[in-house]
Structure 1
Amino acid sequence: MDLDGARRISYRVEQTFRYAYEAPVTALAQRLVVVPRRRHGDLYRRHHRLEVTGAAHARRARLDSAGNTVVRVVAARVEHAVEFRLTADLDRVAGDGPPELPFAALRDPRLLRPTRLTAPDEALRDLAAPCTGTDAEDTASQVCAAAHAALTYRYGVTTVSTTAAQALAAGQGVCQDSAHVMLAMCRLLGVPSRYVSGHLIGQGGTHAWVEILVPRGDRAVALAFDPCHGRRAGNGYLTVAVGRDYADVAPTSGTYVGAPGGTLTGTRNVTVTAVD
């Protein structure tokens, strides 16, 4: 399918997360960032359903400061397992443009300052130094290519707490690490940038990429780059949430009281349901 040439595309996202425990646990508090944004540029969420099974629970959904849907689930007791199941239907409408933000977002310190996961070291400074384009978009293109070349994709060698500097030193990592390396470089070069969590059609798990902000008239717009694949993000990418780094938008995180050793398993299926 020629997704990048389509006028309108419909998608369905089906995703599950299941936590299983060897013994009952109490005081479960789970944070979920899995519901796609209501609108992200030309991408619209038309419908979604989030089911929680395995325990009596209460939930609360809110929008965070970046406009992401954050769902918090609490359960007094889980006997064996708890499962979170998301179904979401999305539409992409060609010509509705990239995400827009107020012009002031170009100076937002949250998008220009390093975080714990994107703090630069000398190696990152050296990697960023030659990436001086004619404008922010050109600079980001060079940074994307450099970050892609610097890391070989390898699953299992990094964790969710691995920093950009550590991933670069190892020369290996996953999409999260490539995104953190690109973010660290962009921020060193004064390009406002943010982490994107979402889905890439044809890839097994959730995906991560980067958006940079550039001026357009009296607004700012977000342009998406995928340093893991060394390219611009197209119509095969579905945004769920944006933040400063992975820690802001981890799909699932939480705490409980009980013996350690809980097991997390998950499934994900993203399909194109219609193309015009």
Structure 2
Amino acid sequence: MSELVSIITPSYNTVEFIKSTIDSVRSQSYTNWEMLVIDDCSTDDSATVIKDIIRNFNDERIKLFVNSKNSGAAVSRNKALALAKGKWIAFLDSDDLWKSDKLEKQITFMKNNGYHFSYTNYSEIDENSKSLGKLVSGPKKITKVGMYNYCWPGCLTVMYNADTIGIIQINDIKKNNDYAIWLKVIKKSNCYLLDENLAKYRKRKGSISNHSYYNLIKYHYLLFRKNENMNKFKSLIFTIRNLLFGILKKIKYVNIVHDKN
């Protein structure tokens, strides 16, 4: 456990969930980590709850930073990535959960196979932490072409080797900013699936997965246009490809399960 893991956690108004998220990190069997929580000027008590956790557990591995103004998840992730000191970079949003052996299994998987970029399966839960009966997977290997076709990895499952990949920064886009990071990383390494369910994604009202098709199209178009600097025609083509491969993912990689946990 000599290699540090930096966990990137943007936070905004998740007072109901942030303690459970941090608890899932503190329960990891792999203990050499730092959790960089960037609070984006929450209007609830999220920052206070995080401070209380740090003080009550005297856990200096949890590091809270508060933006000077509300700036969005892209700016928050950029800030955390710039501050990260770990060899391994992992991502966990402030309402999602990890299983206790997630870090240990994923690092072992990557080191044993010489991988620099990976993701895992995850299950879906609701706002009350009840299972929605869905297990989400993806391709065993994602190449650059495959990643541009669709955002296969769930953000809460991704890990990459910062020594190999380097520092990643993205443009200030309001949605799909996790996908924007993967599009930078995939240019330096293929992405591989650890075919185990090691995380829980909390599906909430207002999440991008619940947006209208119009908004999905708009956000994907802006991703390719602003973050990847594609022309209008190419941005539209890649947006259409994303929509088509999104249908494929639902057919091939989303499975109904009876998960009681």
TM-score if structure 2 supplies the norm length? 0.26
In proportion to residue count, which structure has more strand? 1
Kindly name which structure, 1 or 2, has the bigger radius of gyration based on alpha carbons.
Answer: 1
In proportion to residue count, which structure has more helix? 2
Greater relative contact order structure (CA < 8 Å, 6+ sep)? 1
TM-score if structure 1 supplies the norm length? 0.25
